[in-house]
Structure 1
Amino acid sequence: MKSLLLNMFKKINYIAAVLVLLGGNAALAQVTTQSPYSRYGVGNLKSLNLPQFKAMGGISSGVWKPDGYSYINMQNPASYAGIQYTSIDIGASGSISNLRRNGASESSFNATLSHVALAFPVTPRSALSFGVLPYSELGYQFSNSATLSSPGNSASQAVNYIYGGEGGLTKAYFGYGRQFGDHFRLGANVDYIFGNMLQTRSTEFVDQTNVLNSRFQTKNSVGGIGFSYGAQYHIDLDAKTSLNFGYSGSSSSNINSRRTFVVTQYLKDATTGNENGALDTLQITQDAKSSLKLPLVHNFGFTVEKFGRWMIGADYRMGKWANFMIDGQNQGLQNTYGMSVGGQITPDAGSISSYFNRVDYRLGFTYDKTYVRINDQDIKQMAVTFGFGFPLASTPSRLAFYKINFTTELGKRGTMTNNLLQENYINLHLGFTMNDKWFRRFRFD
């Protein structure tokens, strides 16, 4: 028994070290996206799902146990009750994006570590989970040109208004889920949302190098507690087929923030066009107490699944982002809504003759009206998703199982209507899932 406990604590310490390392990387990360639409709110919101769920369009509310593996569905913590193995999931993601407007286009590529999560059963009907994953991404650089003139003066001056932003928010969570009776499950997460959001707005005179340019810089350093929760109920249609209903949501939370605001003036080199250091600081406010009021969010969904063979489902979600505030000021965002449909099929999970019969094949579609509205135009995004779950060889004892999950999202955000900008993107997600029996009791020590 002593050796069992020692081995258990060694593994937990190792996972804790990985979480701290990746959490630190997430906190220090700067630019992981290039999207002008991330200028608004807290940036572009991320799907709080692992690659295996993103491949099915992001369905999650009603997902319980799609096959013999224990997957961590942190979007609905009630699903933790179905985890039978200690589970570790670590992954990375990359994005290829193309921005288009009025015949002009620009492409970029970004990649980052995406998530690390751990779950382990406490009893046959309950489990704990904790991990770190991105909540939102902020990254953009664009400019607008204009002409300034004053009354009674025929001369005009050409100026560029340059906007920039980087950073984003990360979510660390700790959750518990439990089953009550034969069909009903409840769960909850305590979420710690943290990160930095840095935004700048510069005014530069185009034809005059001896005129002072100005820059406004705002930085919000965020760190605070929120809560998310979920419930699931399943109906057995036969011995291996079930109909699962789910609800998950997050409460409206006030997240602490420290706000730094700086206004500077600077010149640009007449020969190279490079920016010189700041000549004067007109205003500075450091580490002023502030807060972000995150909105109430609801997710509803269902799945129909035949254990170990196939699953299909759909989700509907909505968020009260019109109530989002920074430092008590409403940010003028819109309420959001969206839907996802998808599923997966495994031809024969126990096949010996064909490896490809043991592969999970996943497909889905997702649509969202975002909280951004520009020029009387709602900014929407949609994507077709697909992916695979490739099983790896189990350990000789057959008590540890591994799977590599690969997902592709082909989507677009925005529109070129009303002189707006359209983003076409390809998101790639790679995750490694391990299931193991950590806390098994041996007959001999």
Structure 2
Amino acid sequence: MYKKINYITAVLVLMASISVNAQVTTQSPYSRYGLGNLRGSLLPQLRAMGGISTAVNKPTGYNTINMQNPASYAGITLTTIDAGISAGFTTLTKGDLKDKSFNGTLSHAAFAFPVTTHSALSFGILPYSDLGYNFLQTGTISSGSGTGNGATQNVNSAYTGEGGLTKSYIGYGYRIGDNFRIGANIEYLFGNLIENRDLQFSDDGVDDGAVEPSYATRLQNKNSVGGIAFSYGAQYDFRLSSKMLITLGYSGSSASTINSTRTFLATKYVYDGTQEGGTTIETIDSVGGGKSNLKLPLVHNFGIVLQKNNKWLIGADVRMGKWSNLTINGVNQGLQNSRGASIGGQITPDITSINSYWSKVDYRLGFSYDKTYVKLADNDVKQMALSFGLGLPLASSRNAFYKMNLTAEIGRRGTMVTDDLRENYVNLHLGFTINDKWFTRFKFD
């Protein structure tokens, strides 16, 4: 037992140290809207199948934690631990302009264990949304009187954002009869959403080739978020034979009100010609401690899965969210309702193979398409991705099972209009799943 605990601790500490040293903010201008780029409650093994999850219980002969639908917890029969890291490579293009970035972070840490033969408990922590962008709008102002002889200055309007929300949860799933499962999560969302707007004068109006220091101003809005939300789900199995079944699933998130504290800060600083700015010389205005809230929308997910136990699985999900109802500090964010769909599956050639390791590997493939909650100039911002991955069994024993899950997502986000801003990305996910038999009662004769 102590060796197992030490192994688990070492893995978690290693992944935490990697995430601390990585750049954890995203670089996406689209994260400026709403709550940022939503991450979704998906482990690598589900992302590899296009994100199908609503009707997924046990993809193969091991326990997996599917917090997207807490009803699935009822199928957990062993103590289960899942933790992982994620990394992303993003290329932004607009016309002939191009920018590349890399980000990495700890993606999740989740735990689950059976409570009775019909139920299980799960808890964990994972990102909810990412906020990160940095872009300029340039222009000029003239001090002339309209004769064309006045001096001009270049002016930058710089927009930056950073932060995001994290979700911790605790959930319970219960099986009723042989085929019906229900469950619910209590979730705590917390984090900071920080957005800045700078007005920068990039020169002194004299065309002498030198950049002269000048004054600039920064307006910062910060929302510190912390509050309770709820999610829930149900699954029902239709057994076609002893090894084949169809599962129908539903999951959703309630329209919750999350507390937040708003801080406004206006500062004046010396602009030195760099986008980061220069030395702050005074605070113009500061308003802190303003109590407010976020009103989250209803979200619905529906799914279907057809599977042959320990052999193959194929499924599809559809989802929709009423994001047009999202308000921050009492202000509607002007978003649109989202909708999307995923299809995917996996195959395991021979889970009992002794001679061929690769016959025991899970091979996964999927595709997802979403109309996001962002709409620009009457054009929907859409996102589509192709995903694939492997579930690699590691050393196991009589009561313990270990698996490493590798996933890659290749996708695009944008309005799909020529010369509009587009994001092309490659996301990599690595997760470790441990199934073990803990809390066993021993009997002595």
Give the TM-score, by structure 2 length: 0.91
The residue identity in structure 2 corresponding to 1:184 is F
Kept after mapping to 2: 8 A contact 1:23/1:132? no
Q: Tell me if 1:267 matches 2:270.
A: yes
Residue 157 (structure 2) aligned to one of 148, 161, 177: 161
Alignment of 1:353-392 (within 5 A): 353-392=355-394
Alignment of 1:250-329 (within 5 A): 250-269=253-272, 275-329=277-331
- 1:350 corresponding residue in structure 2: 352
Residue 107 (structure 1) aligned to one of 81, 97, 100: 100
- 1:44 corresponding residue in structure 2: 37
Deviation at 1:346, TM superposition (A): 0.2
* Partner Cα distance (1:433, 1:106) in 2: 35
| CA 1:18–1:320: 2 relative to 1, 3 Å | farther
Alignment of 1:121-136 (within 5 A): 121-136=114-129
Kept after mapping to 2: 8 A contact 1:26/1:170? no
* Partner Cα distance (1:273, 1:115) in 2: 33
Query: What do the CA deviations read for 1:247-304 (whole angstroms, capped 9, x no partner)?
Result: 000001111111111111222247x897332223221111211111111100000100
- Give aligned pairs, total: 435
Deviation at 1:64, TM superposition (A): 1.1
- 2:342 corresponding residue in structure 1: 340
Q: Secondary structure at the match of 1:439?
A: coil
Query: What do the CA deviations read for 1:56-105 (whole angstroms, capped 9, x no partner)?
Result: 00000000112110000000000001101100001000001101111111
- 1:213 corresponding residue in structure 2: 216
The residue identity in structure 1 corresponding to 2:264 is F
Worse-matched range after superposition: 227-236 or 199-208? 199-208
| CA 1:273–1:422: 2 relative to 1, 3 Å | closer
Q: Secondary structure at the match of 1:333?
A: coil
The residue identity in structure 2 corresponding to 1:222 is V
Percent sequence identity over aligned pairs: 60
Kept after mapping to 1: 8 A contact 2:82/2:432? yes
Over the aligned positions, Cα root-mean-square deviation in angstroms equals 2.7
- 1:195 corresponding residue in structure 2: 191
- 1:4 corresponding residue in structure 2: none
| CA 1:78–1:20: 2 relative to 1, 3 Å | farther
Q: Tell me if 1:35 matches 2:31.
A: no
Give the TM-score, by structure 1 length: 0.91
Query: What do the CA deviations read for 1:397-422 (whole angstroms, capped 9, x no partner)?
Result: x1000000000000000046265210
| CA 1:29–1:274: 2 relative to 1, 3 Å | closer
The residue identity in structure 2 corresponding to 1:406 is L
* Partner Cα distance (1:29, 1:295) in 2: 32
- 1:425 corresponding residue in structure 2: 425
* Partner Cα distance (2:2, 2:299) in 1: 36
- 2:248 corresponding residue in structure 1: 245
| CA 1:14–1:363: 2 relative to 1, 3 Å | closer
What runs of 5+ residues in structure 2 fail to find an aligned partner? 205-211
Q: Secondary structure at the match of 2:387?
A: strand
* Partner Cα distance (1:217, 1:30) in 2: 22
Q: Secondary structure at the match of 1:305?
A: strand
Q: Tell me if 1:138 matches 2:131.
A: yes
| CA 1:13–1:256: 2 relative to 1, 3 Å | farther
The residue identity in structure 2 corresponding to 1:229 is Y
Q: Tell me if 1:410 matches 2:407.
A: no
Worse-matched range after superposition: 10-19 or 61-70? 10-19
Deviation at 1:443, TM superposition (A): 2.4
Alignment of 1:1-80 (within 5 A): 31-80=24-73
What runs of 5+ residues in structure 1 fail to find an aligned partner? 1-7
Kept after mapping to 2: 8 A contact 1:102/1:416? no
Kept after mapping to 2: 8 A contact 1:22/1:116? no
Kept after mapping to 1: 8 A contact 2:203/2:214? no
- 2:231 corresponding residue in structure 1: 228
- 1:92 corresponding residue in structure 2: 85
* Partner Cα distance (1:46, 1:93) in 2: 11
Q: Secondary structure at the match of 1:275?
A: coil
| CA 1:409–1:269: 2 relative to 1, 3 Å | closer
| CA 1:366–1:20: 2 relative to 1, 3 Å | same
Kept after mapping to 1: 8 A contact 2:144/2:151? no
